[in-house]
């Protein structure tokens, strides 16, 4: 006799995350990267072993002789509202991605000569060979987007949203990867009823839970998009924010990436609260804050008022920052966070910081430094690489671009009753096959 097991459909899952601002795609922090992965499908995925796959394409290939990347979309795919997914959808999604202030997007877009679309087929013509093109195209930032903001490509779609409590997601019946095994996912914003999946510090023990090490950490930075600001004002604001964040379970950081891998330690002087008040007390200015940090808004407002300072806050999404800086908005101070995976090389992390946090100040000097990093990388000289990275880090700090404040590391804890949840190369949980045992 031949026995088989038929997978059971049904049940639900609750996951504790930060509340998003809206449903428009954004991945500034780890919580956001998980939430938006439910409703927006990646063009490609990369497993932890480096294997590439896609739920969208019937076939894809790279002609290295002609430097042409070709894609063919599967037949009869649709967005959640029934709109067809075709070559134009891929073209649009690629163009949106290439225009992002993202280091991988910039790397690919510099190599692209043109994009041609015909029906379900897309051709990407490159100026030169990019050996790891499909690995680059598996970036979590590259998702399948509809020109209709109420249409989604992911395995779930929003059904209910009760502000400050939860978002209910139901299966997308048009999802290219197949119907979800679960009836719904409840994304909760408060740990009231013991969620099935949650993020916490690595190394903790929870009964009836398995742990998935993400290899993810995210850093909070104070940056200066407009350039030169008074040194005392810079350090006073940095010190003020650091005192505020000390009440949360975040790690101190003495580097631009992580202390364990950095070739240089950053020693930033910190002012006392008395000196902070004397410097900032008579100032009245705005601090722009990435919307991924909105969870701190109420407490930070109280902290500002309790210390009699006149600092106002403006929260903006990462995708809107480029518009703000180009419009001439006087953003002197910008508080943001960046997410990194341990698997990413140190030089790529530094490139990410320069591309995404140097704003309009990415002049010829820094482009030259980035090119030098690439050249040294191919020479495979670790000593030269560390020397170059050290000089870049010192320059970024001394030229008043960026100050690192805090760091947070993550692991994912999931109740044992769920099967088939795995972590991809970028440290994200993939829910395509998750089900109740």
Read off the pLDDT of residues 352-409 as tens digits, 9 standing for 90 and up: 887 787 665 555 666 677 777 676 666 666 777 777 777 777 777 766 678 999 999 9
Range of the domain at 319: 216-409
User: What distance in Å separates the CA atoms of residue 152 and residue 172, rounded to the nearest whole number?
Assistant: 8
Provide the pLDDT for residue 351: 82
pLDDT at 1: 47
At 165-181, the pLDDT tens digits run: 999 999 999 999 999 99
Lowest mean pLDDT among 32-36, 308-312, 360-364, 404-408: 360-364
What does the mean pLDDT of the chain come to? 88
pLDDT band at 332 (very low <50, low <70, confident <90, very high): confident
Asked whether residue 350 is assigned to any structural domain, the reply reads yes
Contacts of 44-52 with C-beta under 8 Å, sequence gap 24+, read 44/134, 44/137, 44/138, 44/142, 45/138, 45/424, 45/430, 46/135, 46/138, 46/424, 46/425, 46/426, 47/422, 47/424, 47/425, 48/422, 48/423, 48/424, 48/425, 50/135, 50/425, 52/134, 52/135, 52/138
User: Are residues 259 and 112 both part of a single domain?
Assistant: no
396 and 425 together in one domain: no
**250 and 392 belong to one structural domain:** yes
pLDDT at 411: 94
Question: Based on the domain organization, do 396 and 421 belong to the same domain?
Answer: no
User: Do 100 and 128 sit in the same domain of this protein?
Assistant: yes
Residue 347: CATH number of its domain:
3.10.105.10
Query: Does residue 180 fall inside a structural domain?
Result: no
> Does 266 share its domain with 331?
yes
Please tell me the predicted confidence (pLDDT) of residue 103.
83
Percent of the chain with pLDDT over 90: 65
Within this chain, do residues 141 and 268 fall inside the same structural domain, yes or no?
no
Q: How confident is residue 228, by pLDDT bands cut at 50, 70 and 90?
A: low
Give the domain CATH number at 136: 3.40.190.10
133 domain residue, yes or no: yes
**Number of domains forming the structure of the chain:** 2
pLDDT of residue 362: 55
Whether residue 144 is found in the same domain as residue 289: no
Provide the pLDDT for residue 330.
73
In a shared domain, residues 87 and 146 = yes
Cα→Cα distances 14→185, 198, 228, 414, Å: 6, 9, 46, 10
* Same domain as 357, residue 291: yes
Confidence class for position 326, pLDDT limits 50, 70, 90: low
Q: What is the 3-state secondary structure (H, E, C) of the chain?
A: CCCCCCCCCCCEEEEECCCCCCCCCCCCCHHHHHHHHHHCCECCEEECCCCEECCCEEEEEEECCCCEEEEEECCCCECCCCCECCHHHHHHHHHHHHCCCCHHHHHHHHHEEEEEEECCEEEEEECCCCCCHHHHHCCCCCECCCCCCCCCCCCEEEEEEECCCEEEEEECCCCCCCCCCCCEEEEECCCCCCCCEEEECCCCCCCCEEEEEEEEEEEEEEECCCCCCCHHHHHHHHHHHHHHHCCCCCEECCCCCCCCCCCCCCCCCCCCHHHHHHHHCCCEEEEEEEHHHHHHHHHHHHHHHHCCCEEEEEEECHHHHHHHHHCCCCCCCEEEEEEEECCCCHHHHHHHHHHHHCHHHCCHHHHHHHHHHHHHHHHCCHHHHHHHHHHHHHHHHHCCCEEEEEEEEEEEEEECCEECCEEECCCCEECCCCEEC
Is there a single domain that holds both residue 421 and residue 370? no
pTM: 0.89
Q: Same structural domain for residues 432 and 330? A: no
Q: pLDDT digit string (tens) for 57-85?
A: 999 999 999 999 999 999 999 999 999 99
Residue 189 domain-assigned (yes or no):
no
Residue 51 domain-assigned (yes or no) = yes
């Amino acid at each position: 006799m031949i026995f088989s097991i038929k997978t059971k459909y049904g049940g639900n899952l609750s996951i504790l995350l930060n509340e998003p601002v809206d449903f428009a795609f954004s991945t500034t922090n780890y919580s956001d990267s998980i939430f938006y992965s439910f409703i927006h499908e990646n063009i490609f995925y990369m497993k932890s072993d480096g294997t590439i796959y896609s739920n969208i394409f019937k076939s894809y290939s790279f002609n290295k002789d002609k430097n042409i990347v070709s894609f063919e979309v599967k037949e009869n795919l649709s967005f959640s509202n029934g709109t067809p997914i075709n070559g134009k959808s891929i073209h649009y999604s690629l163009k949106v991605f290439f225009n992002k202030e993202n280091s991988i997007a910039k790397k690919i877009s510099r190599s692209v000569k043109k994009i041609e679309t015909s029906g379900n087929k897309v051709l990407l013509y490159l100026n030169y060979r990019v050996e790891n093109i499909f690995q680059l195209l598996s970036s979590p930032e590259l998702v399948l987007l509809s020109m209709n903001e109420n249409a989604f490509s992911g395995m779930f779609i929003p059904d209910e949203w009760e502000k400050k409590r939860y978002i209910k997601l139901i299966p997308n019946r048009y999802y290219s990867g197949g119907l979800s095994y679960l009836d719904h996912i409840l994304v909760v914003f408060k740990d009231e009823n013991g969620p099935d999946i949650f993020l916490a510090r690595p190394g903790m023990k929870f009964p009836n839970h398995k742990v998935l090490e993400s290899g993810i950490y995210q850093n909070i930075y104070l940056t200066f998009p407009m350039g030169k600001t008074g040194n005392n004002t810079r350090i006073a604001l940095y010190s003020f924010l650091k005192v505020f964040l000390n009440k949360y379970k975040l790690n101190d950081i003495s580097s631009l990436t992580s202390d364990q891998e950095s070739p240089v330690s950053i020693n930033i002087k910190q002012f006392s609260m008395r000196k902070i008040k004397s410097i900032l007390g008579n100032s009245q200015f705005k601090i722009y804050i990435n919307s991924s940090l909105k969870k701190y808004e109420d407490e930070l407002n109280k902290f500002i008022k309790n210390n009699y300072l006149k600092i106002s806050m403006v929260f903006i999404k990462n995708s809107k920052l480029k518009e703000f800086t180009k419009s001439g908005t006087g953003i002197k101070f910008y508080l943001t966070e960046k997410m990194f995976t341990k698997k990413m090389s140190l030089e790529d992390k530094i490139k990410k910081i320069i591309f995404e946090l140097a704003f309009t100040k990415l002049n010829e000097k820094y482009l030259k430094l980035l090119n030098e990093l690439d050249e040294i990388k191919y020479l495979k000289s670790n000593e030269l690489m560390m020397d170059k990275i050290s000089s870049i880090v010192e320059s970024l700090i001394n030229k008043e671009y960026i100050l690192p404040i805090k760091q947070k590391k993550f692991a994912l804890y999931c109740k044992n009753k769920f099967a088939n949840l795995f972590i991809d190369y970028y440290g994200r949980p993939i829910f395509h096959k998750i089900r109740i045992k």
